[in-house]
Amino acid sequence: MAITMNEKKVYRASTTAPVNIAVIKYWGKRDATLNLPTNSSLSVTLSQSDLRTHTTATCSPSYSPPDTLLLNAAPQPLSDARSQACLSALRSLRASLERANPALPPLSTYPLRLSSSNNFPTAAGLASSAAGFAALVRAIADLYALPHSPTELSLIARQGSGSACRSLLGGYVAWDQGTLASGTDSTARLVAPRAHWPDMRALILVVSAEKKGVSSTAGMQNTVRTSPLFQKRAEDVVPKAMRAMEFAIQERDFEAFARIAMRESNSFHATCLDTEPPIFYLNDVSRAAIKGVEAVNEKAGRVVAGYTFDAGPNCVVYYLEADRDAVAGPFKGVLAGKEGWGGEQGQAVQVREGVLPEGKVVESLREGVSRVILTSVGEGPISVDEHLIDEKGEVVVVA
């Protein structure tokens, strides 16, 4: 029997999704299956010009099962519970549309072929899983023509990677802890759009592009089980920090923003050290970066820079565009030979000599920082016409 064109058709949608870096950290689950957090969190969505995951989602009646995923051209499993939870939820939403309108093609019944690429190192403390699951969910939602809002889709992305729910929105984004056992009130929420405070900038000192020794998932559950500090942090410290940070963002009060971000980062890593066995995400280079930020603020006579560290040694330094040279200039002075200063943002930074402490601090930074990334607050996922899988279902080789 002849195969019709409809039986060969490949349906496609592509999306880019951003990295987000939390200033109030998510650490610990009250329900591991649903990825429900023990505390709320808040992040800054970063510009996709600098850090993004690009995902193409396709389906076709001509595809053979199972669903497949390529990440940076390498096959990745989709059989894990987190991926299956996302795919199942998205298929269910599409199936509901198809039942309501039988004229729609039955995309929910077709196998999926997915292809993703990152323009930054995967699993290196740069929130790759957040951008990855946000891009996957948004691309499939577009493929299925789902009418659901980013907040509604955040319920699904959260099941793949908790912090992925925040990457479905741009600007300044909260992930509310929620109280319901079902998790339906544990969603991403827009605190302020990018346009509210567009001059927020970030200098990322990439200390290591190697995969973390202790994954976030394993680390946080060990903390929940063993850290006496953890309960105090979840019940008292974080709720107060959330309220203060949201107020700082609404008021565009950078000094308050930076102080809260640094204190919160230190609190998070204190609970990691309080875990049994202790988790050491920071290293000597990370501590040198902290000393560098302290020196920058001392030289300026005010708080112009604020550091934060996720579950890894990379340092993210937030600052405002007006203070670019005061913050990024001293780091460029000691890291000028590193990759990352060649773009428009990097070239614009004027070197400031003699600000960072000579000796161990400067030596550690020069030896330990592999590259820098200069970026800014950015938008949420963007639908794009550049596809990583062609109209025949074949993977596009990206040069």
The pTM for the full model equals: 0.94
Q: Is 142 exposed, middle or buried (0-12, 13-18, 19+ CB in 10 A)?
A: middle
Tokens of 288: 């040198």
Report helix, strand or coil for 99.
helix
- Say what percent of the chain tops pLDDT 90: 89
Mark out the alpha helices in the chain (DSSP H runs). 5-8, 81-100, 128-143, 150-160, 216-226, 228-232, 238-251, 254-273, 284-300, 324-335, 344-348, 360-368
Distance in angstroms (rounded) separating the CA atoms of residues 265 and 233 = 12
Helix axes 284-300 and 360-368, enclosed angle (nearest 10): 120
User: Per residue in 247-269, pLDDT tens?
Assistant: 999 999 999 999 999 999 999 99
User: Per residue in 290-312, pLDDT tens?
Assistant: 999 999 999 999 999 999 999 88
Task: Say if residues 317 and 356 touch (Cβ distance below 8 Å).
Answer: no
Tell whether the model's pLDDT for residue 217 goes beyond 80.
no
Task: Say if residues 308 and 343 touch (Cβ distance below 8 Å).
Answer: no
Question: Which residue, chain included where needed, has tokens 């850090």?
Answer: 51
Tell whether the model's pLDDT for residue 1 goes beyond 50.
no
Mean pLDDT, residues 241-251 taken together = 98
Which strand ranges, in their side-by-side order, compose the sheet holding 74-76?
74-76, 68-71, 112-118, 52-59, 11-18, 382-384
CB 11: neighbour CB atoms within 10 A? 18
| pLDDT for res 127 | 64
| pLDDT for res 2 | 39
For residue 277, the one-letter residue type is P
Distance in angstroms (rounded) separating the CA atoms of residues 238 and 117 = 34
Determine the number of helices (DSSP H) and then strands (DSSP E) in the chain: 12, 16
Task: Say if residues 382 and 3 touch (Cβ distance below 8 Å).
Answer: no
Mean pLDDT, residues 336-358 taken together = 94
User: Per residue in 272-296, pLDDT tens?
Assistant: 999 999 999 999 999 999 999 999 9
Mean pLDDT of the chain: 94
pLDDT class for 128, splitting at 50, 70, 90? confident
